[in-house]
């Protein structure tokens, strides 16, 4: 049996499985050893049921596309019979009575959900510092954050304690941690992947997507989870193309736009240089590059933090202590039960966003804040629609800097929000995006290149990202000790 | 909206069904007023003839047939209840 199965990609493991050189159980055992060795320092895993994974491994259908491949799951997704806390004390002890659609689809593609991964509470955060349970550290430098909110989903894949993972992205929560941890993260078009069974943060923005070591693996996982779902009325009823077939089409003739509003002062020079070099590589391979404008970019963060918090305040109203979740001791009456259960169960960032969302929806402020933000959302979506008349892909940084130090932004919520500038407009307009490793800072921290595609343009994303990846070896580098 | 946004924290927390401590009220008021001041810049966007978007894509009513489908069995639906009595969720008394 080859050594170190935990260091291989899905595609490599599938080849070994199909040749019967290894079994699915070998992968689980190998991962278990890697997690035991490395996770105490990283803190990615909240839960794992190794016995259940081994039982699934016994029955794995190796002829299925992901047959025998373990996939780690952000704790915001329901996996039947497993805990799902969304990083919150509110859901301590909650056991999912059903599978999210993306989990059911992974299983029917032969994959084995293995392990639940830490996250910012209810997916609200950019650093994993908002988890109620534990800190997750960046495998490249354990004094730094892994990003968020799918921080542990990125950290585990980077540290080789997961082969691949699922994350969710509401304002950058797949792409930003993928960039900070040096892996590939794909945020599909809004509606491409069902949200049924995803614990909701902001329903008009949330999407589930793959976090992987390579672009090829991202295509394989996306293939398994994409598609229409009658259980999610916002899921798109559009055919799912063969994503793997798109990988090798090359970028010759593709038109790539560089938004002038994204290449601004305040970007770390190393990030700018790495992204510009990445674009040059695509140009060298035959893509044409031109400057474009997304003129309403400067309003994106403000619009996002009104719309997302408004939706969150409505979505999180379901946590009332009645049917599931935390209930306070000895409530005096129903109202006392609501007020205290929520006060005890939610952490500080979640309370902050619920209050902000409640405020912008409240009588007298609705038009000034919420309605105004929805109109600005239209303008931002039009910016992208106009741009995609001219270009096939938009290239940009994912983040203004590489991973920051743990604690750096913890006391300043607004400063933390402002770091989401390059990822947030994507969610408001419902387009798709991918982050791929494109270099390292002087401190050895990964940097991500973001490609943004038109709605249902995942094939373009994969084409561009794969062409870039094949010409570089950033994605092969390992954090120390992995 | 104005640069001197003011949030009535007690009223808003009450609407949100959240009991805050005095310290939380002070901290959130300062933080949220700063955030509201920042989002006030949306006033600079010209939206006079712009429709509001609730959603990224054009949305249509999605209907399904009014037919019985498999769903949760009662035991699964009750499995995470903080308190239950038989086949029911237990809550504090609602009527006198």
**What is the model's pLDDT at position B1?**
45
3-state DSSP assignment of residue A448: strand
Taking each helix axis as running N to C, give the angle between helix A101-108 and helix A215-225, from 0 to 180 degrees, rounded to the nearest 10: 110
A342 in contact with chain B, both atoms CB, cutoff 8 A = yes
Minimal Cα distance from B8: which residue of A? A359
Catalytic choice (A127, A150, A153, A173): A173
Please tell me the distance from the alpha carbon of residue A249 to that of residue A466, in angstroms, as a whole number.
9
Inter-chain contact B89–A331, Cβ cutoff 8 Å?
no
Distance of CA A455 to the CA centre of its chain: 18
**Euclidean distance between CA atoms B10 and B22, whole angstroms:** 10
pLDDT tens readout for residues B9-46: 999 999 999 999 999 999 999 999 999 999 999 999 99
- Yes or no: say if A204 and A311 are a contact pair by the CB < 8 Å rule: yes
Which chain B residue has its CA at the smallest distance from A306's CA? B39
**What is the pLDDT, as a whole number, of residue A416?**
83
Cβ proximity of A102 and A208 under 8 Å: yes
Cβ atoms within 10 Å, residue B16? 25
The whole-number pLDDT of residue B2 equals: 46
Judged by a CB distance cut-off of 8 A, whether residue A157 touches chain B is no
Tell whether A302 is within 8 A of chain B (Cβ). Answer: yes
Residue A340 vs residues A256, B10, B34: alpha-carbon distances, Å: 52, 15, 27
CATH for A5-295+382-476, options being 2.60.120.380, 3.40.50.720, 3.40.50.10420, 3.90.1300.10: 3.90.1300.10
The sign of the CA dihedral A58, A61, A66, A72 is: negative
| SS3 at position A82 | coil
End-to-end CA distance of chain B: 44
Distant-in-sequence, close-in-space partners of A335: CB < 8 Å, separation ≥ 6: B17
Contact A355 B38 (CB under 8 A): no
Interface contact B18-A372, CB threshold 8 A? no
Nearest CA to A338 out of A310, A312, A317 is that of: A317
Say if the Cβ atoms of B53 and A377 lie within 8 Å: yes
The confidence score (pLDDT) of residue A454 equals 97
Contact B32 A355 (CB under 8 A): yes
Q: Which pairing describes strands A70-74 and A112-117: parallel, antiparallel, or unpaired?
A: parallel
Which residues lie across from A212 on neighbouring strands?
Answer: A184
CA triple A395-A397-A401, angle to 5 deg: 175
Tell me the nearest-neighbour CA distance from B42 into chain A, angstroms: 6
Q: Which of A34, A74, A341, A482 is catalytic?
A: A74
pLDDT at A481 (0 to 100): 57
Cα gap A306→A300, rounded to integer Å: 10
Using DSSP, state whether B16 is helix, strand or coil.
Answer: coil
CB proximity A331 to B under 8 Å = yes
**Confidence bin at B60 (pLDDT 50/70/90):** confident
What is the ipTM for the molecules in this complex?
0.94
Catalytic status, residue A74? yes
* Chain A, chain B: beta-carbon pairs less than 8 Å apart: 166
Measured between beta carbons, which residues in chain A are less than 8 angstroms from residue B23?
none
Please tell me if residue A287 touches chain B, with a CB cutoff of 8 Å: no
The torsion defined by the Cα of A239, A194, A300 and B25, in degrees rounded to 10, comes to: 170
Tens of pLDDT along chain A (482 residues)?
A: 666 999 999 999 999 999 999 999 999 999 999 999 999 999 999 999 999 999 999 999 999 999 999 999 999 999 999 999 999 999 999 999 999 999 999 999 999 999 999 999 999 999 999 999 999 999 999 999 999 999 999 999 999 999 999 999 999 999 999 999 999 999 999 999 999 999 999 999 999 999 999 999 999 999 999 999 999 999 999 999 999 999 999 999 999 999 999 998 889 999 999 999 999 999 999 999 999 999 999 999 999 999 999 999 999 999 999 999 999 999 999 999 999 999 999 999 999 999 999 999 999 999 999 999 999 999 999 999 999 999 999 999 999 999 999 999 877 888 888 889 999 999 999 999 999 999 999 999 999 999 999 999 999 999 999 999 999 999 999 997 55
| Interface residue A319 vs chain B (CB under 8 A) | no
Domain parsing of chain A, residue ranges: 5-295+382-476
For residue A201, what is the DSSP state? Answer: S
Options 1.10.1220, 1.10.3470, 1.10.20, 1.10.10; CATH for B1-46 is 1.10.20
**Residues sharing a CB contact under 8 Å with residue A91, sequence separation 6 or more, in sequence order:** A83, A84, A85, A199, A324, A325, A326
Domain extents for chain B? Answer: 1-46
């Amino acid at each position: 049996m080859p050594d170190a199965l935990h260091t291989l990609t899905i595609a490599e493991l599938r080849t070994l499985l199909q040749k019967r050189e290894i079994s699915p159980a070998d992968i689980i055992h190998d991962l278990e050893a890697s997690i035991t060795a490395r996770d105490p320092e990283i803190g990615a895993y909240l839960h794992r049921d190794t016995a259940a994974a081994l039982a699934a491994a016994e029955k794995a259908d190796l002829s299925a596309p992901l047959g025998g491949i373990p996939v780690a799951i952000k704790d915001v997704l329901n996996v039947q019979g497993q805990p799902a806390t969304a990083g919150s004390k509110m859901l301590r002890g909650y056991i999912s009575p059903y599978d999210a659609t993306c989990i059911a689809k992974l299983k029917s593609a032969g994959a084995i959900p293995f392990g639940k991964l830490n996250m910012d509470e209810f997916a609200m955060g950019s650093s994993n510092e908002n988890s109620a349970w534990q800190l997750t550290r960046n495998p490249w430098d354990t004094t730094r954050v892994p990003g968020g909110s799918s921080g542990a989903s990125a950290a585990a894949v980077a540290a080789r304690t997961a082969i691949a993972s699922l994350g969710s992205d509401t304002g950058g929560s797949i792409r930003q941690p993928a960039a900070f941890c040096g892996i590939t993260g794909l945020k599909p078009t809004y509606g491409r992947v069902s949200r049924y069974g995803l614990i909701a943060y902001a329903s008009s923005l949330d999407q589930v997507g793959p976090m992987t070591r390579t672009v090829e693996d991202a295509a394989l996982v996306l293939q398994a989870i994409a598609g229409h779902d009658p259980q999610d009325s916002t899921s798109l009823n559009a055919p799912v193309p063969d994503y793997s077939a798109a990988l090798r089409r090359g970028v010759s003739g593709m038109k790539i736009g560089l938004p002038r509003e994204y290449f601004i002062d305040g970007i770390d020079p190393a990030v700018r240089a790495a992204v510009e070099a990445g674009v040059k590589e695509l140009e060298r391979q035959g893509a044409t590059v031109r400057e474009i404008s997304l003129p309403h970019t400067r309003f994106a963060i403000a619009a996002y933090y009104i719309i997302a918090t408004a939706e969150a305040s409505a979505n999180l109203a379901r946590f009332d202590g009645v049917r599931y979740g935390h209930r306070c001791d000895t409530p005096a009456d129903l109202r006392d039960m609501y007020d205290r259960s929520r006060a005890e169960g939610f952490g500080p960032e979640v309370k902050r966003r619920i209050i902000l969302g409640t405020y912008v929806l409240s009588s007298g402020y609705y038009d000034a804040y919420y309605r105004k933000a929805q109109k600005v959302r239209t303008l931002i979506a039009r910016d992208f629609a106009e741009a995609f008349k001219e270009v096939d892909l938009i290239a940009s940084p994912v983040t203004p800097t590489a991973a920051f130090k743990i604690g750096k932004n913890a006391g300043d919520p607004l400063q933390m929000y402002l770091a989401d500038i390059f990822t947030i407009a994507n969610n408001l307009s419902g387009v798709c995006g991918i982050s791929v490793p494109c270099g390292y800072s002087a401190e050895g921290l990964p940097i991500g290149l973001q490609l943004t595609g038109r709605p249902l343009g995942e094939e373009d994303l994969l084409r561009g990202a794969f062409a870039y990846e094949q010409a570089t070896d950033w994605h092969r580098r390992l954090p120390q000790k992995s | 909206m104005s640069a001197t946004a003011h949030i009535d924290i007690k009223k808003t927390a009450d609407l949100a069904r959240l009991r805050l401590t005095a310290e939380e009220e002070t901290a959130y008021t300062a933080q949220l007023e700063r955030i509201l001041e920042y989002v006030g810049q949306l006033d600079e966007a010209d939206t006079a003839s712009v429709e509001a978007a609730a959603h990224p894509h054009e949305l249509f009513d999605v209907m399904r047939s009014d037919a019985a489908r498999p769903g949760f069995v009662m035991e699964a639906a009750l499995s995470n209840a903080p308190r239950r009595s038989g086949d029911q969720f237990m809550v504090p008394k609602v009527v006198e």
